[in-house]
Structure 1
Amino acid sequence: MFTTFSDAASINVAFHAHHSTDPVNVASHGTIVYNVVTTNIGNAYNRNSGYFTAPVSGTYVFFANCMAVASSEEEVYISQDGKKGIAVCYSNRPLASPYEQGSTSVTTHVLKGQKVWTSIVQNSENIRGNLWSTFSGFLVKPDA
């Protein structure tokens, strides 16, 4: 619990993650684990599990970018504890098209300790790695 508004305002939470290999194999309906974390202010993103765990309750914004491997299509969900698929990222990459990237974002209220993650929903079990598929987010405003 914050004792003053200035305590709440001093909380900074932000992360950005991607995967070190390309392509990335993810089990169908499985959590995407981004193992390269370029920003992790507040240490809320776990690169071993793929989960962001809110250190404080508040309003957050999350982003997901995804790219399918050649001749496939992908749906990647951003999910939150108790809310499956609060946003969806879609990429359809025909063989003739070298690149087609999808992206999505969502603004949502997250309670302290709740988890937010991305997962593959359907079709292939591979996505493009490196910086082609990313997951990021930040705290807009903590609850007072």
Structure 2
Amino acid sequence: MFFHLVLSPLAIKHHLVSDQSKKMSLQLSLLMLVVLYASSAASSCQRINNDEFEDLTNVMRKITCQSGGISEKPAFLATLTPREVALTSGSVVKFDSILTNIGNGYNANSGVFTAPRKGTYQFAVSFVSGHRNNGVLELTLAKNNNRLVRGHAASDPYTAGSLQATLALEKGDCISIIHPRPSGHVLGAYYSMFSGHLI
């Protein structure tokens, strides 16, 4: 048995609510309607018209946007490409090769991640000391220039270090990786990386 589905804009707006669980419920209900529509067409040996399917998809997109519903969570991954980078006291490590940047929060020119929205974020940094390093290579994760978490690699060349942090951020908070010692060398060539995502 085939039926035709009609959703008026007024009916859609009536269901827009501020409660996140109700938004999710509405979106899931619409998804179920699409599946029901498709299975109904299949069981009656009728094909879904591309225009009809596109209309349903557009309605779902509009509801998601209007309700502030599900959207992609900010996430980034950047690596260091130069063979070796000399660092001075207070310098920000600029992980220059962006592999992922959902939400465009990471800026390779400044080396700073700016939170596109409020939430709890997970950050990870792994790094390798360069062959010209003459002492412990230490890196610090800073939030709005306040140093929070430190990691270090031993004084031998080509040793690995890492640090991780889970932080509650407000929209616009800045996260950077800072070198706190007078001098140091970090290995690039894609061995050192900085990543983060909204959890």
Q: TM-score, normalised by structure 1?
A: 0.84
In structure 1, stretches of 5+ residues that fail to align are none
Aligned equivalent of 1:45: 106
CA contact (8 A) 1:56 1:112 kept: yes
Letter in 2 for 1:127: V
3-state SS in 2 of match to 1:130 = coil
User: Is residue 2:97 matched to residue 1:36?
Assistant: yes
Cα offset, 1:9, TM superposition: 4.2
Residue matched to 2:30:
none
> What's the CA shift string for 1:20-67, capped at 9, x where partnerless?
111012332111111100111111000111000000011001111121
> Alignment RMSD, CA only?
2.0
Q: Map of 1:17-96 to 2, 5 A cutoff? A: 17-70=78-131, 71-81=134-144, 84-94=146-156
1:29–1:120 CA contact under 8 A, matched in 2: yes
Contact kept? 1:18, 1:34, Cα under 8 Å: yes
SS at match of 1:125: strand
Contact 1:69 1:93 in 2 (8 A): no
Q: Structure 1 runs of 4+ off > 6 angstroms?
A: none
| Residue 8 of structure 1: how far off its partner (Å) | 5.4
Contact 2:88-2:182 within 8 A present in 1 as well: no
* Cα distance change of structure 1 residues 11 and 122 upon mapping to structure 2, 3 Å threshold: same
Q: Which has the higher helix share?
A: 2
In structure 2, stretches of 5+ residues that fail to align are 1-17, 25-67
Counterpart CA distance in 2 for 1:4 and 1:45 is: 30
Q: Distance in 2 between matches of 1:100 and 1:14?
A: 27
Give the structure, 1 or 2, with the largest relative contact order (CA under 8 Å, sep 6 or more).
1
Distance between the aligned counterparts of 2:128 and 2:183, measured in 1?
Answer: 11
Matches of 1:39 and 1:108 in 2, distance apart? 20
**Larger-gyration structure (1/2):** 2
Aligned to 1:110: 169
Residue-by-residue CA offset, 1:64-94 (whole Å, 9 max, x unaligned): 1121123432110010016x22211100142
Aligned length: 135
Name the aligned partner's letter for residue 88 of structure 1: R
